[in-house]
C-alpha cells in the first residue's frame, strides 16, 4: 500500500469531541508548563541556575530583547502574552518533529485561530489607547483628500490581511517541511526494500532526510520567532498609530 505524505495531517477522532489535534494541544501546553516549572523547581537558584533554568532564561531574554526593541518600553504589560505565544508555537513545532507525533501548527485552523486572537487583541488595545483616533492609521499623513477613499480602502484591506499572512506563513512552512520529510523518508525506505545496488543508493535520500531534519529544527524556532516578531510589529503600530 502506498501511503500519502499528507496522511500525517489527518484529524483522527479519539473520543466524541476529542481528536488527535486536541490531544497534542494538551501535550504542548503541558510541556510548556512543565518546562517552566522545572526551570523554577529543585536546584534552581538566583546565582547558580540549573540546566532548565538556564535554558528558560535564555528564551526569556531572547524574546524580551526583540520584543523591547520592536514595541519599546510599553511592551511590559503585553510581554507575558508574547512569551506564551512564542513558547506555544516553538514547542508545537518541536514536538511535531518526533516520529508518530502530530504537529498542531500544520493545520490552518490552529494558526488562523492564533492569528485571529492576536488581531482582535491588538484592535482592542488600539481602541482602548486611542479611541476613535485609531482609525487615523488608515489614512497616511499628507495624503490628498481626493485620494483618501482609495487609500483608506487599500490600507484597510492590507490591515485585514495581516491575520491571513500570520496564519498562512506559519501553516505553509510547517506543512511543506513535514511533507518533504515524509516523501524523502518514503523514497529512502522504498530503495532500501528493493535491495541490491539500491541498498547502497538509499543512503543518498537518507542523508538528505537528516539534513532536512536539521533544517526543520531551525524552521521550528524561526517560525515561532517570525510569528512573535510580526505580532510585536502590529502591536507597535496599534500603540503608535504607524
pLDDT digits (tens, 9 = 90+) for 99-158: 888 889 989 999 999 999 999 999 999 999 888 888 888 777 766 677 777 888 888 888
pLDDT of the residue at 110? 92
Alpha-carbon span 183 to 47, nearest angstrom: 48
pLDDT digits (tens, 9 = 90+) for 46-92: 566 677 788 888 999 999 999 999 988 888 899 999 999 999 999 99
Question: Is the pLDDT at 220 greater than 80, yes or no?
Answer: yes
pLDDT of the residue at 62? 93
| For range 213-229, the mean pLDDT | 91
C-alpha distances (whole Å) from 28 to each of 34, 134, 156, 197 are 10, 36, 35, 43
Confidence tier at 1 by pLDDT (50, 70, 90): very low
pLDDT of the residue at 51? 77
Q: Which of 214, 189, 217 is nearest to 203 (CA)?
A: 189
- Residue 166's contacts (CB-CB under 8 Å, 6 or more residues apart) are 111, 114, 115, 118, 119, 227, 230, 231
Of 193 and 152, the structure prediction assigns the larger pLDDT to: 152
The torsion angle over the Cα atoms of residues 41, 25, 89 and 82, rounded to 10 degrees, is -70
pLDDT of the residue at 166? 92
- Residue 8's contacts (CB-CB under 8 Å, 6 or more residues apart) are 102, 178, 182
Alpha-carbon span 98 to 143, nearest angstrom: 52
* 145-154, 191-200, 216-225: range with lowest mean pLDDT: 191-200
pLDDT of the residue at 7? 76
Q: How many angstroms from the chain centroid is the CA of residue 210?
A: 23
User: Do β-strands 13-15 and 18-19 pair in parallel, antiparallel, or remain unpaired?
Assistant: antiparallel
Alpha-carbon span 50 to 177, nearest angstrom: 34
Confidence tier at 197 by pLDDT (50, 70, 90): low
* Domains of the chain, residue spans: 20-240
Question: Is the pLDDT at 45 greater than 60, yes or no?
Answer: no
Alpha-carbon span 127 to 201, nearest angstrom: 61
pLDDT digits (tens, 9 = 90+) for 176-190: 888 888 777 777 767
Is residue 216 within 8 Å of residue 98, measured between CB atoms?
no
pLDDT of the residue at 47? 60
Q: Which of 128, 35, 137 is nearest to 83 (CA)?
A: 35
Question: Is the pLDDT at 41 greater than 70, yes or no?
Answer: no
Q: Which of 162, 130, 150 is nearest to 241 (CA)?
A: 130
The SS3 of residue 131 is: helix
What pTM, to 2 d.p., does this model score? 0.87
| For range 204-208, the mean pLDDT | 75
Sequential DSSP letters for 44-111: --SSS--HHHHHHHHHHHHHHHHHHHHH-GGGGGGHHHHHHHHHHHHHHHHHTTSTT---GGGSHHHH
Question: Is the pLDDT at 3 greater than 80, yes or no?
Answer: no
pLDDT of the residue at 224? 94
Amino acid at each position: 500500500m502506498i501511503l500519502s505524505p499528507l496522511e500525517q495531517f489527518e484529524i483522527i477522532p479519539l473520543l466524541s469531541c476529542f481528536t488527535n489535534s486536541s490531544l497534542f494541544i494538551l501535550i504542548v501546553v503541558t510541556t510548556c508548563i512543565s518546562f517552566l516549572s522545572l526551570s523554577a523547581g529543585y536546584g534552581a537558584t538566583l546565582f547558580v541556575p540549573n540546566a532548565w533554568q538556564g535554558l528558560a532564561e535564555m528564551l526569556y531574554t531572547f524574546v524580551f530583547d526583540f520584543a523591547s526593541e520592536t514595541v519599546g518600553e510599553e511592551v511590559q504589560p503585553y510581554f507575558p502574552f508574547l512569551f506564551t505565544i512564542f513558547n506555544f508555537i516553538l514547542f508545537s513545532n518541536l514536538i511535531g518533529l518526533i516520529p508518530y507525533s502530530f504537529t498542531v501548527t500544520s493545520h490552518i485552523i490552529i494558526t488562523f485561530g492564533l492569528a485571529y486572537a492576536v488581531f482582535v487583541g491588538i484592535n482592542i488595545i488600539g481602541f482602548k489607547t486611542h479611541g476613535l483616533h485609531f482609525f487615523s492609521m488608515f489614512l497616511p499623513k499628507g495624503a490628498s483628500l481626493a485620494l483618501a477613499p482609495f487609500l483608506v480602502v487599500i490600507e484597510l484591506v492590507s490591515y485585514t490581511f495581516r491575520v491571513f499572512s500570520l496564519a498562512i506563513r506559519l501553516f505553509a512552512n510547517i506543512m511543506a517541511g513535514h511533507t518533504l520529510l515524509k516523501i524523502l523518508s518514503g523514497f529512502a525506505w522504498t530503495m532500501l526494500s528493493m535491495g541490491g545496488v539500491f541498498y547502497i543508493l538509499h543512503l543518498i535520500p537518507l542523508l538528505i532526510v537528516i539534513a532536512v531534519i536539521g533544517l526543520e529544527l531551525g524552521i521550528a524556532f524561526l517560525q515561532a520567532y517570525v510569528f512573535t516578531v510580526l505580532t510585536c510589529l502590529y502591536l507597535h503600530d496599534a500603540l503608535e498609530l504607524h
